[in-house]
Amino acid sequence: MAKQVMQFRDALAMAQADAMREDPSVFVFGLDVPDHKSIFGSTKGLLNEFGSRRVFGTPLSEDAMTGAALGAAITGLRPIHVHIRVDFLLLGMNQIANMVSAIRYMSGGQLKAPMVIRAVIGRGWGQGPQHSKTLHSFFAHIPGLKVVMPSTTQDAYSLLRASIKDDNPVIFIEHRWLYDVEGEVDTSIEGRLGESVVRRQGRDLTIVSTSWMTVEALKAAEVLARHGIEAEVVDVRSIFPLDKETILNSVQKTGRLIVADYDWVNCGFSSEVAATVSHALFGRLQHPVERLGFEFVPCPTTRPLENLYYPSAVQIIRTAERMLSMQAIDLTRDNFYSYENKFKGPF
């Protein structure tokens, strides 16, 4: 039963179920985990199969529940703590920054903390400033945490399996829009943390993308290809450890880089990639590194402003044109992703 077609949400649920079948020390908990909506379907079926001892909801206590996950992890279990929004995870930031990340070091290597914190990025339908954050750079800034952002159904499965197996704390950040994406999942593919992947080969330009921006980058590359520009798309997947080699190999080839990050640009992950590439390939770059991300404002709720806030395939294309001194491509006949077609509120 190696290969099946499914949605991203089902791949997440299957990864957790397979891990729980294999290892009795794995358990899943967090607000809304066992209810009828089951975190947009990503914990569906778990309560039924594994029971309320291993699959349960919690009081609204993110700080202590993060500490509880850590307490269980350092005493031999493998908790998966789920947050329906990254924004809510911030209530556990004291534990993450002061305890989870440092406990092994503080113990001189006596303890390990194998735990996964899953968190969903919201977008659209008026999610607004407090339901739409990503903040992967917050977590990757701190030594002791691995940070994973899958963008395909296969990676949802295999990187979540790898995160659960990993003996370090892993922050696993999932974009809500990706939940609807369908794809093939081969359960025999073993995921490995710390590896980026080239999603599309190209010689003219590298686009390094995170999470949903990989979808936008592939769309942009498809449009650019029709106009003679071959963009290479590197899906970062692992924010930390960062696979610098794959990124540098690509930019070595293309000489041009757009970092299309799904977060604010200021002091963000895109700065890290830009600095890394500028440092290693200073003489090879044909153009300064370009960075795309959220506008530097809190996420607006109303649609017209929200549309201005997010980076998109169109922005990638316009940036590429500038970098390559091209005429502006007529995009009026291209179909770009609109969640109106896929996604209805309220969540």
Partner 1 sequence: MTSSPVARSKAEWFSAYSKMLLARMCEEKIREEYFKDEMKTPVHLGIGGEAIACGVHASIARVRGAQAVKSNTKYFGTYRNHSIFLATSDDTDTFFGEMYGKVTGCGKGKAGSMHMASPEHGLVATSAVVGTTIPLAVGSALGDAVMGRDGLSIVFFGDGAMEEGAFYESVNFAALEKLPVLFVCEDNDLAIHNFRHNRLGWKSTKDMVEGFRCLYDEGDGTDLKEVMEKTDRMIAEMKKQNMPGFLSFNYYRFLEHVGPLEDFKFGYRAKADQAEAKFDPIAKAEAFLKTQGVTDAEIEAEKKKHRARIDESVKRAQDAPFPPPNELYADVWAEDTPVRYM
Cβ distance to partner 1 smaller for residue 53 or 333: 53
Q: Give the strand pairing for 290-294 and 78-83.
A: unpaired
231: β partners = 205
Residue pair 183/197 in contact (Cβ under 8 Å)? The answer is no
The catalytic residue among 83, 131, 136, 175 is 131
The residues of the shown chain that bind partner 1, judged by CB under 8 A, are 24-25, 27, 53-54, 58-59, 61, 63-77, 79, 94-95, 98-99, 103-112, 114, 143-144, 166-168, 194, 241
Shorter beta-carbon distance to partner 1: residue 139 or 294: 139
Token couple for 288: 């300064």
Question: Which residue lies nearer to partner 1 by CB, 167 or 340?
Answer: 167
Give, as one character, the DSSP assignment of residue 55: E
Residue 152: both structure tokens together: 């395909």
C-alpha dist (Å) from residue 226 to 5, 99, 223, 230: 29, 51, 5, 9
Q: Which long-range contacts (CB under 8 A, 24 or more apart) does 105-114 make?
A: 105/143, 105/144, 111/74, 112/73, 112/74, 112/167, 112/168, 113/70, 113/73, 113/74, 113/167, 113/168, 113/169, 114/73, 114/78, 114/164, 114/166, 114/167, 114/168, 114/169
Distances (CA, A) of 54 to 16, 62, 168, 215, 234: 11, 18, 20, 34, 37
Q: For residue 234, what are its two tokens?
A: 């590197």
131 is catalytic: yes
CA-to-CA distance for 330 and 198, rounded, in angstroms?
A: 27
Closest distance between partner 1 and the C-beta of residue 229, in Å?
A: 33
CB of 133 to partner 1, least distance (A): 21
- 29 or 294: CB nearest partner 1: 29
Active-site position among 62, 174, 272, 306: 62
Q: Is the distance from CB of 111 to CB of 61 less than 8 angstroms?
A: no
The nearer residue to partner 1, 140 or 317, going by C-beta atoms, is: 140
| Catalytic residue set | 62, 131
